[in-house]
A and B are shown apart, each in its own frame.
Chain A
Amino acid sequence: MRVYSVGEINRYLRELLEANAVLADLWVSGEVSNFSESAAGHLYFTLKDESSQLRCVFFRPKTAVDLENGTAVMAHGRVSLYEVSGALQLYVDLVQPEGVGLLHLEFERLKAKLEEEGLFEPARKRPLPAYPRRIGVVTSPTGAVLHDIVSIITRRYPLVEIVLSPTQVQGDGAVGGIVNAIAALDNTEGIDVIIVARGGGSIEDLWAFNEEKVARAIYGSRSPVISGVGHDTDFTIADFVADVRAPTPSAAAELAVPDRADLQAQVQSLTQALGSGLTRYLALFRQRLDELTRTVSTCLTGSLAISHERLRARELELASLSPLGTLRRGYALVQQSSTGAVVSRLEQVQRGDTIDVKVSDGQFRSRVTGSKKGLQGWMNSLPSSKP
């Protein structure tokens, strides 16, 4: 047996209270009394009902709180012990007027909390794969939702495998079931996208999708998540945290896969582009071929003309070299009549020799009557050397 100090017992009690999960996060409804506000801005009050009272403290509310004695409120916070006075207190972090509805209050509280943590950040949303191969579906294995999802995907894009991760979607086991179902898909190879879906219902029916554990499971999943919960007017925390929010389960299925009809049209237009691409190519090659053919024949004609010209020049050259040409220019060929030897020097003839003189159109016979050495003064009378 030992004796405890007051401080020891109070610390022990505080630790005991703070270790309790229910007391760490709870809503309490009651009527406000003994309301007071400290100079530092802290609010002190008591919540009471017909038979009991609970001391409350609200440290420096971030937003203005409209409290007065007699107001019926719901306060959210944690219960602990103030060691200094030994008082059991509710440490309040949120106060709402009674009548707003607990679920609504809880929804707004969790939404604000997760938003501040960054779970809804647009920058964090992951894009959906354009052509998924394996689609995980977290929903009830029976009922209209799975049937709708299967029939929509069958119609739009049956190239996929649907991997159903079955779970209860309402009731006590729903939260754990959804969390486990997402985890099971995360442990399955090749899941490209996950649809988390549930049909329409009351806010209580959909409540599992407003639970923090489900929100964190969606946020933590390896594959991008499409939420399709309830009708298009229902917004759940799961919708805010999902990578894509679909208004309904059917819409989630449509967002998950492309439409086969669109793809067929796309393939059709690509086929046409292929045909016109080749046609254009062939036309280009044909055009180049035509151009080349034209160029070749132009070159050929040109080179023929050049050859003609050169031929004509050669002919002229030949003509000018022929002895006949020379004779036409006025020169004469002299031969000894007796021997036929061509006379090119004085010594080849004697006075009295008969010689034959050939000119351009015939010949005549002459006799040598005299000679004289040298050609001085005679050059000027020569016929032009030009043809």
Chain B
Amino acid sequence: MDEQLTFEQALERLEKIVLALQDGGLTLEESIALYEEGMGLARICNERLNAADLKITQLQTEFGQAPQNGDEPLP
């Protein structure tokens, strides 16, 4: 299982696996392998959702260094 998957990639793959399991036409080995992969993906999804830490960066615009001018009306 690729541990580098993003939440979106893991969720997409998980949805495909559920569909495949519902469609039928798999061998016993395939269905068990898909089940195991799916459970791994669900774990990755939950980990991504739970462990996420919002990142904030700030671009250097002309205003980035200028004196602050907030949302409050100017005096």
Q: List chain A positions with a Cβ less than 8 A from chain B.
A: 130-131, 133, 139-145, 150, 153-154, 157-171, 173, 177, 180-181, 184-185, 188, 198-199, 201-202, 205, 260, 263-264, 266-267, 270-271, 273-275, 277-278, 280-282, 284-285
B2 within 8 A of A: no
Residues of B with C-beta under 8 A to A141: 58, 63-64, 68
Instruction: Give the complex CA separation of A270 and B18 in angstroms.
Output: 7
Residues of B with C-beta under 8 A to A274: 14, 17-18, 21, 35, 38-39, 42
Contact of A267 (CB < 8 Å), options: B17, B45, B59, B66? B45
Instruction: Give the complex CA separation of A145 and B42 in angstroms.
Output: 35
Instruction: Give the complex CA separation of A158 and B55 in angstroms.
Output: 8
In the complex, per-residue mask of B28-51: 1 if CB is within 8 Å of any chain A CB, else 0:
100110010011001001101100
Report whether A281 and B55 are in contact in the complex, using a CB–CB cutoff of 8 Å. no
Residues of A with C-beta under 8 A to B3: none
Residues of A with C-beta under 8 A to B1: none
Q: List chain B positions with a Cβ less than 8 A from chain A.
A: 6-8, 11, 14-15, 17-18, 21-22, 24, 26, 28, 31-32, 35, 38-39, 42, 45-46, 48-49, 52-59, 61-64, 66, 68-74
Report whether A173 and B42 are in contact in the complex, using a CB–CB cutoff of 8 Å. no
Instruction: Give the complex CA separation of A270 and B15 in angstroms.
Output: 7
Instruction: List the B residue with the shortest CB-CB distance to A154.
Output: B54
Report whether B54 and A177 are in contact in the complex, using a CB–CB cutoff of 8 Å. no
Number of A-B contacts (CB under 8 A): 148
Report whether B49 and A184 are in contact in the complex, using a CB–CB cutoff of 8 Å. no
Report whether B74 and A263 are in contact in the complex, using a CB–CB cutoff of 8 Å. no
Report whether B61 and A177 are in contact in the complex, using a CB–CB cutoff of 8 Å. yes
Q: Given A171-B69, A277-B22: A163 and B53 within 8 A (CB)?
A: no
Residues of B with C-beta under 8 A to A167: 61, 63
* Least CB distance, B45 to chain A, in whole angstroms: 4
* Least CB distance, B61 to chain A, in whole angstroms: 5
Instruction: List the B residue with the shortest CB-CB distance to A153.
Output: B54
Residues of B with C-beta under 8 A to A184: 59, 61
Instruction: Give the complex CA separation of A184 and B68 in angstroms.
Output: 19
Report whether B31 and A278 are in contact in the complex, using a CB–CB cutoff of 8 Å. yes
Report whether A281 and B59 are in contact in the complex, using a CB–CB cutoff of 8 Å. no
Residues of B with C-beta under 8 A to A143: 70-72
Contact of B7 (CB < 8 Å), options: A131, A198, A273, A282? A131
Residues of A with C-beta under 8 A to B7: 131, 159, 263
A–B complex contacts, Cβ < 8 Å, 15 sampled: A140-B68, A140-B71, A142-B69, A142-B71, A150-B54, A164-B58, A164-B59, A180-B61, A199-B71, A267-B11, A267-B46, A271-B38, A274-B21, A277-B18, A282-B31
* Least CB distance, A247 to chain B, in whole angstroms: 16
Residues of A with C-beta under 8 A to B39: 271, 274
* Least CB distance, B15 to chain A, in whole angstroms: 7
Residues of A with C-beta under 8 A to B55: 160-162
Instruction: Give the complex CA separation of A114 and B38 in angstroms.
Output: 50
* Least CB distance, A229 to chain B, in whole angstroms: 11
Report whether A267 and B42 are in contact in the complex, using a CB–CB cutoff of 8 Å. yes
Residues of B with C-beta under 8 A to A282: 28, 31
15 more A-B contacts (CB under 8 A) besides A165-B59, A277-B18? A141-B58, A141-B63, A141-B64, A158-B54, A159-B48, A161-B56, A163-B57, A164-B57, A166-B58, A171-B69, A263-B11, A274-B17, A274-B18, A274-B39, A277-B35
